[in-house]
Homo-oligomer: A and B are copies of this chain.
Amino acid sequence: MADEQRSAARRRQIFQAAAVVFARQGYHGARMDDIVKESGLSKGALYWYFKTKEELATGLVHQMLSAEKHGMDELMAAPRPAAERLEELVRGFARELTKDPDKAPLALELLALAQNIPDIRACYSVHHEQYTECMRTLLLEVCEAEPDAHAEAARRADAAALALASAVDGLTLRWTLARTAFDLEEKLWEVVQVIVRGLLSHPAA
A residues adjacent to B (C-beta < 8 A): 26, 28-29, 105, 108-109, 111-112, 114-116, 121-122, 124-126, 128, 156, 158-160, 162-163, 165-171, 173-174, 176-180, 187, 190-191, 193-202, 205
Contact = CB atoms under 8 A, between A and B. Distances in A.
The dominant DSSP class at the A interface is helix
Contact of A159 (B108, B166, B191): B191
A20 B202 CA distance: 47
A195 B193 contact: no
Given A109-B115, A111-B112, A198-B197, A128 B178 contact: yes
Contact of A112 (B112, B169, B196): B112
Contacts of A179: 121-122, 125-126
Residue from the set A26, A108, A201, A202 with the largest chain B CB neighbour count within 10 Å: A201
Nearest to A158: B190
Contacts of A163: 163, 167, 171, 190-191, 194-195
Nearest to A189: B159
Nearest to A174: B128
Contacts of A202: 201-202, 205
Nearest to A194: B198
B178 A125 contact: yes
B194 A205 contact: no
Contact of A201 (B116, B122, B165, B200): B200
Given A156-B194, A205-B205, 18 more contacts: A108-B111, A108-B115, A112-B112, A115-B177, A122-B179, A125-B178, A128-B177, A128-B178, A162-B187, A162-B191, A163-B191, A165-B170, A166-B168, A166-B171, A195-B195, A197-B197, A197-B205, A202-B202
Contact of A198 (B111, B125, B201): B201
A195 B163 CA distance: 8
Contacts of A197: 197-198, 201, 205
Contact of A194 (B108, B168, B169, B199): B199
